[in-house]
Amino acid sequence: MQHAQPVTVPAETLLEWYRTLVFCRRFEEQTERSFRRGKIGGYLHVAIGQEAVPLGFLSAARADDVFFVSYRDHVHTLVRGTDPGAVMAELYGKLGGTCKGKGGSMHLFDVSRGNYGGYGIVGGHIPLAVGAAYALRYQGTDRVCLCFFGDGAMNSGALHEAANLAGLWGREGLCPVVFVVENNQYGMGTSVERASAVAELARRFDAYDIPNERCDGMDVVVVYEVARRVVDQVRRTGRPYAVETITYRFSGHGAADLFQPYRTKEEVERWRQRDPILLLERRLRQEGLLDDARVREVEAWAEQRVQEAVAFAEASPEPPPEELYRDVYGG
């Protein structure tokens, strides 16, 4: 692992990050309850435990930078500032959702905020992100594209084809993409060691002449420091860069992964000691920026916002049948 130059993060930003982490966690816990109650249909993948990665990277990016993400996309979307009610309504399949209820959990989009989506096909969005990065330079801007995907996607053909092009175009300074590998140690139920001949995933970008590194994905301050340096470098050079973040999901792979036979309770418990919320809370308490009363305040605020999002989703109408034919190509 390389170490970033320390970046000073102002106290107010650290507190804001703490609020965001708590809010995203409570939001996703609510989505799990809503799924069990039959309010959310289709599928549901939460990023509980992994939140520091999207928060750190999207905090380091500019508001006009764009990003692409896999189906584990709720936190990215919330962090980018999409209205939580619209996110919840999308999960509920309602008209007030980010995609009028047609996309659901795996396909959150908000193009006005540079969110080019949530994709259900593992690795399928990686070539799109590389193309978007090329387009951003071609259009003469200095915007960058962040592409988030899992360790499992590292073994998809799409990753290798896209990384090759990115390496090639990057030589000319024409591909400002940051590959952010969210290595949560498992595909659906297969560990990285069982699925990857070279388990050190960052190193595999060497094959395409893309500079790369690994970093801790649980401490948001560490993620942010790395992301700041990398995003700035990619913006300056127009060359791609890959960061493998080491993170962990505390929930199952998706809503149907009830028994998790591929890992032990002890392993999950060990990782819980490095819960990103816990790490930041500890840091804030040490610096005298947080106490029990403030924690309760944040919890109450987060819970209220989540319930407002649920109320919005509940009240939002079902899409009418005519919606089936709107916003689709061909036909």
Ligand X SMILES: Cc1ncc(C[n+]2csc(CCOP(=O)(O)OP(=O)(O)O)c2C)c(N)n1
Interface residue list for Mg ion (CB under 5 A): 150-151, 184
Measured at CB, which residue is nearest to ligand X?
Answer: 150
Q: ∠ CA 24-258-262 to the nearest 5 degrees?
A: 100
Question: Cα-flanking dihedrals φ and ψ of residue 182, to 5°?
Answer: -90, 85
Q: DSSP string covering 78-141, please?
A: HHTT--HHHHHHHHTT-TTSTTTTSS-TT---BGGGTEEEEESSTTTTHHHHHHHHHHHHHTT-
Pick one of 153, 175, 210, 215: the residue that binds ligand X (CB under 6 A). Answer: 153
Of the two residues 151 and 213, which places its CB atom closer to Mg ion in the complex?
151
Q: DSSP string covering 190-214, please?
A: -BHHHH-SS--GGGGGGGGT--EEE
Q: Enter the tokens of residue 55.
A: 């928060």
Question: Cα-flanking dihedrals φ and ψ of residue 150, to 5°?
Answer: -90, 175
Helices (H) then strands (E): counts for the chain: 11, 6
Interacting span for ligand X (CB under 6 A) from 59-67, 145-153, 240-248, 309-317: 145-153
Rg of the chain in Å (alpha carbons)? 19
Pick one of 49, 96, 97, 187: the residue that binds ligand X (CB under 6 A). Answer: 187
- Residue 271 interacting with ligand X (CB under 6 A): no
- Residue 253 interacting with ligand X (CB under 6 A): yes
Rounded least distance, CB 135 to ligand X, Å: 24
Question: Do 22 and 298 touch, CB atoms closer than 8 A?
Answer: yes
- Residue 184 interacting with ligand X (CB under 6 A): yes
**Residue 29: which H helix or E strand, with range?**
helix 11-36
Rounded least distance, CB 288 to ligand X, Å: 36
Site string for ligand X, 45-74 (x = CB under 6 A): -------------------------x-x--
Of the two residues 70 and 115, which places its CB atom closer to ligand X in the complex?
70
- Residue 242 interacting with ligand X (CB under 6 A): no
**Residues near ligand X (CB under 6 A), total:** 15
- Residue 238 interacting with ligand X (CB under 6 A): no
- Residue 256 interacting with ligand X (CB under 6 A): no
47, amino acid identity: A
- Residue 76 interacting with ligand X (CB under 6 A): no
| Residues at the site binding ligand X, with contacts judged by CB under 6 A | 70, 72, 120-122, 150-153, 182, 184, 186-188, 253
